[in-house]
Amino acid sequence: MKTINYNEIEATKNPHGVEAKKIHETNYVQAAHIFLKSGQKLIKHITPVDVFFYVLEGSGTVEIGDEIKEVSKDTLIVSPSNIPHGWSNNSNFDLRLLVVPALVLAGIPKENGPIGVMLRKHTLGRNYIKEINRGLEN
């Protein structure tokens, strides 16, 4: 088991001037933590892959393409690739986001990536158990 304490990770410099920390990275997945203090913004930018944001704490304004929405804690936001997106914290409280880019960033196909393979194996396993149980009933 590997555990990672967010408070022990150094922030990376970025053009937005906000605290951003890469909290996990493998060949299969990446996760970052973005911390926006009151009044801070994540400048609108484009990423070459789909990204999802999960609001861990606080509330803020997310802008994706021409859409603008106020979101708060426990909200998941999907940002498609190549569409400008940005964030602003207009509240008086901290805004913390978990950011996860799509697996295809590492060249892993959507259909046969590790999650798809895992789910397929679970389905096969369940089907085998059903067949065994049917055989035992007869």
- Give the domain CATH number at 92: 2.60.120.10
Please tell me the predicted confidence (pLDDT) of residue 65.
Answer: 95
pLDDT < 70 stretches in the chain: 27-28, 103-129
Please check whether residue 77 lies inside any domain of the structure.
Answer: yes
Predicted pLDDT at 107? 56
Task: Locate the DSSP E strands across the chain.
Answer: 19-25, 30-36, 41-45, 51-57, 59-64, 67-72, 76-79, 85-88, 95-101
∠ CA 90-92-95, nearest 5°, is: 70
Amino acid 47: pLDDT: 83
The residue whose two tokens read 């088991």 is 1
Q: Are residues 64 and 19 in the same domain?
A: yes
Same domain, 129 and 93: no
| 63 and 85 Cβ atoms separated by less than 8 Å | yes
pLDDT, residue 106, reads 47
pLDDT, tens digit, for every residue of 91-125?
999 999 999 987 655 455 555 555 555 555 556 66
pLDDT at 116: 55
Domain shared by 95 and 131, yes or no: no
Q: Which domain holds residue 77?
A: 6-106
What pLDDT does 123 receive? 62
pLDDT of residue 134: 82
pTM for the whole structure: 0.74
